[in-house]
A and B are shown apart, each in its own frame.
Chain A
Amino acid sequence: GAGVSQSPRYKVAKRGQDVALRCDPISGHVSLFWYQQALGQGPEFLTYFQNEAQLDKSGLPSDRFFAERPEGSVSTLKIQRTQQEDSAVYLCASSLHRGPRETQYFGPGTRLLVL
């Protein structure tokens, strides 16, 4: 079946621009996560949704980062006034249920480069 998909796969932005990254989770998956992966490092948690509810946004690095999942399926991560330090791969993951020991399936990521 179809896995997690993300778009765009690559995004180049000028410093100060706003960007929007899209995640399509596996159909029927309740939980959705966003992670940020800097070059050569492990993914770091940004935010978590259970259906349409954003239950944890403790990992968002600043108020320039905003995520939503209005209908409990597709999610969008928005970064306003991008900075060079925002350059990273943004990974989305989904899991079927809401339990803490559920397998998370990752998308291919969006590689963001801020010039």
Chain B
Amino acid sequence: GENVEQHPSTLSVQEGDSAVIKCTYSDSASNYFPWYKQELGKRPQLIIDIRSNVGEKKDQRIAVTLNKTAKHFSLHITETQPEDSAVYFCAATPNNAGNMLTFGGGTRLMVKP
């Protein structure tokens, strides 16, 4: 089955700096890669996703890049703000393995004001 590795597990940045979180996946059949933000005690919320037919997608301060050859994808947050502090999860889903998501272990992002 699919295996998703996520790094780093914790990330501390100064407000206004950029943050980058990286994920690798094992199943070359995976073709959908969402990113979720989870605040303490809250539900995971989708912040951005990318499908395998594109290499990059941007939404305001958030961008995701995908390298299918290397089987890795990354989340980029620019101009970080204290409210960006949360745990971020990457996930992948193969087209031929049902619809479930396989999640990475999460990255705790702390933005210091």
Contact = CB atoms under 8 A, between A and B. Distances in A.
Contacts of A104: 34, 46, 101
B90 to A, nearest CB: 9
A103 interface: yes
Interface string B68-97: 000000000000000000000101011101
Contact of A101 (B31, B43, B44, B98): B31
A59 interface: yes
Contacts of B112: none
Contacts of B25: none
Interface string A33-47: 101000011111100
Interface of A: 3-4, 31, 33, 35, 40-45, 48, 55-56, 59, 91, 95, 98-109
Contacts of A100: 31-32, 93-95, 97-99
Closest 3 CB pairs of A and B: A42-B103, A101-B32, A45-B100
B89 A98 contact: no
Interface of B: 4, 6, 31-32, 34, 36, 42-46, 49, 51, 89, 91, 93-95, 97-106
Nearest to B45: A106
A106 B6 CA distance: 21
A11 to B, nearest CB: 15
A41 B105 contact: yes
Contacts of B104: 42
